[in-house]
Amino acid sequence: MTSSWSCVVSLSPQQRLDVLSLLDRSEALLGREAIDEGRRRVVVHGWSAQHWLYYDEGALTKYAMANGEKHATVEMCDGDTDEDLLEKLLEAHEVVDWWTRGSEPCQHVRGTVIRMLQLMRVTLPVPVEPVPVGATLRNFEPHHDEAAWLEQNNAAFAHHPEQGTWHQADLDERTHEPWFDPSGFLLLEIDGRIAASCWTKVHELHPDRFGEIYVVSVHPDFQRHHLGRVMVTQGLNVLYRKGVTDAVLFVDESNESARKLYDSLGFRLEREDRLVRFTRP
């Protein structure tokens, strides 16, 4: 029997286990995440998506997830591309944006890199910027700070393709994850408003147990006061106090001001992930 890609909207219990097993095996081989955290969450919780499966002699050997109608976004387990899957996707979608992880610039004639995310890493500790006079640094309080934080975050990322359109449900999904720890979610208040925030995460189950600056942002009303440096260094200090010696973050290659800040703190480039656009011929 010839193996080929097939698509389901909802994974059966066995398919879900097959996908999770493939993701786990791939991560062990790669030494990094096999697929975006949000997409893994979809699999873990059994949510609907375009789940693309490739079985070879009864074993799942490839997996990809796509979202969208005319314009789809896709990522494959291991961060690579697949010509056969691309052809199938372009039959159903006019435009396909494909995330590749750590790959060389796409060699496809039709493909155009439209976005690049840089994974950066720093060794802890780093010098900590003090909290400005008159400001208050505190931890996020579940069931109290959600609305105010969403307003601050969405204002800060008003033009960001993913981060600027969060709703309560998006926040709830993450704060109910096993890894969530409000002690690593910092809020900076000025004049009774959340001016900036830094949400950190400890990858407890990773063999290297590293930390991550998960989300960091400054409200537009409070920018140009070096609060980004304050929040990043305060967040890294929280991670260091938890026994973490290395921390990572993702930054858009086009965000020159953020990259300049991270460079000054000692972050070094570790990987570049590219979003490649393909259009139907």
pLDDT for 160 equals 77
d(CA 26, CA 23): 5
Mean pLDDT of 62-83: 95
Is 44 a residue whose pLDDT tops 90? yes
Q: What percent of the chain lies above the pLDDT cut of 90?
A: 88
Average pLDDT over residues 168-196: 96
Q: What is the mean pLDDT of residues 115-144?
A: 97
Between the alpha carbon of residue 44 and those of residues 12, 64, 113, 117, 205, the distances in Å are 12, 14, 30, 25, 16
Tell me the C-alpha distance between 81 and 83, whole Å.
7
Q: What's the pLDDT score for residue 137?
A: 98
Task: Please check the confidence at residue 74 and state whether its pLDDT lies above 80.
Answer: yes
Tens digits of per-residue pLDDT, 210-263? 999 999 999 999 998 999 999 999 999 999 999 999 999 999 999 999 999 999
Which pLDDT score is estimated for 257? 93
Higher pLDDT, 67 or 103: 67
The first and second tokens of residue 229, run together, are 């440096």
146-157: per-residue pLDDT in tens? Answer: 999 999 999 999
122, 268 in Cβ contact below 8 A? yes
pLDDT score for 3 = 81
Instruction: Give 81-87's long-range contacts (Cβ < 8 A, gap of 24+).
Output: 81/106, 81/108, 81/276, 82/5, 84/4, 84/5, 85/5, 85/52, 85/54, 86/278
What integer pLDDT is reported at residue 205 of this predicted model?
A: 85
Residue-wise pLDDT tens digits, 92-123? 999 999 999 986 655 555 799 999 999 999 99
pLDDT for 206 equals 87
Is 184:198 a contact under the CB 8 Å cutoff? no
Instruction: Please count the CA atoms within 13 angstroms of the CA of 172 that sit on its side-chain side.
Output: 5
Residues 6+ apart with CB under 8 A from 208: 246
User: Whole-model pTM?
Assistant: 0.92
* Average pLDDT score, the chain: 94
